[in-house]
Amino acid sequence: MPDDGEARLVHVGSLASLAEEGRRLVKVGRKQIVLFHGDKGVFACNNRCPHEGFPLMEGSLAEGCVLTCNWHNWKFDLDSGETLVGGDSLRRYPVQLRGDEIWLDVADPPPAARAAKALDSLRDSFRRHEYDRMAREISRLQRSGADPLDALRGAIGWTHDRLEFGTTHAHAAAPDWLALRAGLAPEAPAALVPLVEVVGNLAWDTLREPAYPYAEGRAAYEPEALVEAIEQEDEARAVALLRGALAEGLAFSDLERPLATAALAHYQDFGHALIYVYKTGQLIDRLGPTVAEPLLLALLRSLVYASREDLIPEFRAYGGALADWDGKGRRPVEAADLTGLAVPQALARTLESSADTRALFDALLGAAAWQQLHFDLERQDRSEQPISQNVGWLDFTHAITFGNAVHVLCDRYPELWPSGLLQMACFLGRNARFVDPELDVEGWAVADPAAFFEAAFAGLLDHGAPEYIVSCHLVKLLTAVREEVAAAPEAAWVPSLLAATRRFLESPLKRKHSLRTAHQAAAFTAIED
């Protein structure tokens, strides 16, 4: 099939016979093309409706050139090519009349034009978050010969300034989805899933959002100044420093240390900040430098806006513990020492073992795994309780994914170990209230880790979770667990972490609490005036 835009004319019969028949289906190679004889002339288009592929030969023609597909009432102007009702555009074929004979130009547009059209249409699908259309447009992009990852690159660029608070789970889960895709045959339909998940998530996160532009201007980059600007919650200054760094040719790897430092400067955003730093770097690695600026801008914004939980009473002991860290605590530690302690006690116990950061990390991660394995599921169903007692699975999975980010980034920047480990202790202290130590967990043991991971990752491709935040946590947790197990397959916490992951995957996940919301709204408003 020519792909250089050169005309490829085929004869498809006489005008007189088409006028008599009104419409006609012709086959040209693999193409099914339907011809219409309308009041406004002869038109030719793909017989397959671009929505779900039903035959337009069975459609209704009105006003001489408006074709309705009767399956779902999409309408196409065959003259202008516009989709009047619906989404995807209909492929039309130029018609030439030579006397009484009809000729069609069936040449395909050049690949670059097809790719550009698919990306334009993908962007248009964001207006209504049309998930199935996104799958079609990304598939069309791939069929044009373009890199399907361009869909992600485009989506990141279109959406980064519509994220009011910066980076979301869409960015954070993206490298994990792409890692999953890398294990599939690129042309397999399943390989579309990770792409559509990320693009759809970005579309959802920015649905009906206006632009929140980033400040213009540059400042001479200094790592300490970047950390300080984030600490001061000065987005404009942080952005100027970032732009200065990029203008100097610095890459993410040059910026990772100050970004990780800022992310760990507080126990903040329930661990999201550090996870976002780790995953932003991975995503830039996968998609290339063209996405560095939009991703870094969004990341900076999320760091600036991060809530600083160490400033609230529950975690206020964190600052003092960090100041007391001397790296000389030599008391042996294991997971069981940490699972049932409140925040101040968990911090104090962590300090007692500060000399051996690896042993401490193992104990903290093991404790987080044990807590997830023993999460008292009854707690996620309670309705009559104060907001401070709200808890769900994602509180536990975050402790694991945060631990994974601590492991990777503190290994790279060892001066961050005290912050990372003490913040892991904060997670433990918070979640200790919501576990049942007596729970019978024998049945969750994972006998064959390799088979478990294979089945769990395969299941992700058809996860069925309507909320992106859930599918993000599924892929992020599984990826983090696999990374940690691969890094330390003999660690004492491996069985517990695998069992905890299995229990999470196979247990109910309550995400909407109508009655709880009502109770808490009524209780709160009753005392606010």
Which residues of this chain interact with ligand FES, rule CB under 6 A?
Answer: 49, 51-52, 54, 69, 71-72, 74
Nearer to ligand FES, 54 or 204 (CB): 54
Closest CA to 479 of 279, 296, 293: 279
Q: What is the DSSP string of 446-503?
A: -S-HHHHHHHHHHHHTT---SSHHHHHHHHHHHHHHHHHHHH-TT-TTHHHHHHHHHH
Q: 33: which DSSP letter?
A: E
Nearer to ligand FES, 52 or 101 (CB): 52
Are the beta carbons of 365 and 424 closer than 8 angstroms? yes
Report, in Å, the least distance between residue 43 CB and ligand FES.
17
CB burial string 176-202: b at 16+ within 10 A, e below: bbbbbbeebeeeeeebbbbbbbbbbbb
Whether the CA torsion 327, 329, 332, 333 is positive or negative: it is: negative
Nearer to ligand FES, 49 or 178 (CB): 49
Cα dihedral 104→107→113→114 (10° resolution): 90
Report, in Å, the least distance between residue 31 CB and ligand FES.
18
Question: How far apart (Å, rounded) are the C-alpha atoms in residues 423 and 95?
Answer: 68
Nearer to ligand FES, 84 or 523 (CB): 84
Nearer to ligand FES, 72 or 98 (CB): 72
Nearer to ligand FES, 85 or 521 (CB): 85
Nearer to ligand FES, 76 or 434 (CB): 76
Closest CA to 495 of 429, 446, 453, 451: 446
Nearer to ligand FES, 124 or 234 (CB): 124
Q: Ramachandran region of residue 200, left (φ > 0), alpha (ψ -120 to 50) or beta? A: alpha
Report, in Å, the least distance between residue 72 CB and ligand FES.
3
Report, in Å, the least distance between residue 73 CB and ligand FES.
6
Tokens read off for 408 = 């990777």
Are the beta carbons of 406 and 424 closer than 8 angstroms? yes
Q: Where are the alpha helices (DSSP H) in 11-130?
A: 15-21, 111-125
